[in-house]
């Protein structure tokens, strides 16, 4: 019996720069080669990596949902490991495709959809990326000491705790 899987694949930006569809087909062709029924696949994001992977500082994330017999997952993983364009991958079993994913993937397949070229490897990320936010949406000062946003609430407490 086929199981629905969610796969997140980190793709080398050099391949994405040449052509996004070609980069996407690296993943989709690999899945189809092993007999997966592809439900949807789309570009999730292009980001600066939290740490370098094979000397890459940035990579493009491709998110795919597919149905696959669990017995064949080992062969698929072996091929993913051998592929040099796939920097890293994560395969998770899911009950179903989340709502909205099929629409997003269909929008990407439209003719007028264009994928922006990935920036150079040493380019900084967008200012909003990595900004810590409190529950109310306000930003946390990155220079503030650890837990300062939480401990600040304690300062308002009545003094005299120390003797």
The contact set with another protein (CB under 8 A) reads: 8, 10, 44, 47, 49-51, 53, 59, 61, 63, 88, 90, 92, 130-135, 145-147, 150-151, 153-154, 157, 161-163
Q: Residue 29, SS3? A: helix
State the nearest-atom distance from the C-beta of 112 to another protein, in Å.
26
- Determine phi and psi for 71, rounding to 5 degrees: -65, -25
Backbone region of residue 79 per phi and psi (left: phi > 0; alpha: psi in -120 to 50; beta: other values): alpha
Q: Which is nearer to another protein, 122 or 135 (CB)?
A: 135
Supply the minimum distance, in Å, between the C-beta of residue 29 and another protein. 21
The dihedral region occupied by 65, where left means phi > 0, alpha psi between -120 and 50, and beta the remainder, is beta
Q: Which two tokens stand for residue 158?
A: 């009545």
By beta-carbon proximity to another protein, the closer residue of 112 and 162 is: 162
Least distance CB 17 / another protein (angstroms): 19
């Amino acid at each position: 019996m086929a199981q629905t899987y969610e796969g997140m694949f980190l793709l080398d930006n050099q391949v994405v720069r040449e052509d996004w569809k070609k980069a996407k087909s690296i993943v989709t062709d690999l899945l189809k080669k092993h007999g997966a029924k592809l439900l949807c696949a789309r570009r999730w994001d292009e980001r600066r990596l939290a740490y370098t992977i094979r000397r890459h500082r940035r990579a493009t994330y491709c998110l795919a949902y597919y149905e696959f017999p669990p017995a064949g997952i080992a062969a698929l993983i072996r091929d993913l490991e051998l592929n040099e364009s796939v920097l890293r991958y994560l395969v998770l079993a899911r009950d179903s495709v989340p709502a909205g994913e099929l629409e997003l993937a269909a929008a990407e397949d439209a003719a007028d959809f264009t994928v922006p070229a990935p920036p150079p490897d040493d380019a900084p990320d967008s200012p909003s990326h990595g900004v810590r936010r409190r529950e109310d949406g306000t930003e946390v000062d990155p220079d503030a000491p650890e837990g300062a946003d939480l401990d600040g609430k304690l300062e308002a407490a009545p003094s005299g705790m120390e003797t």
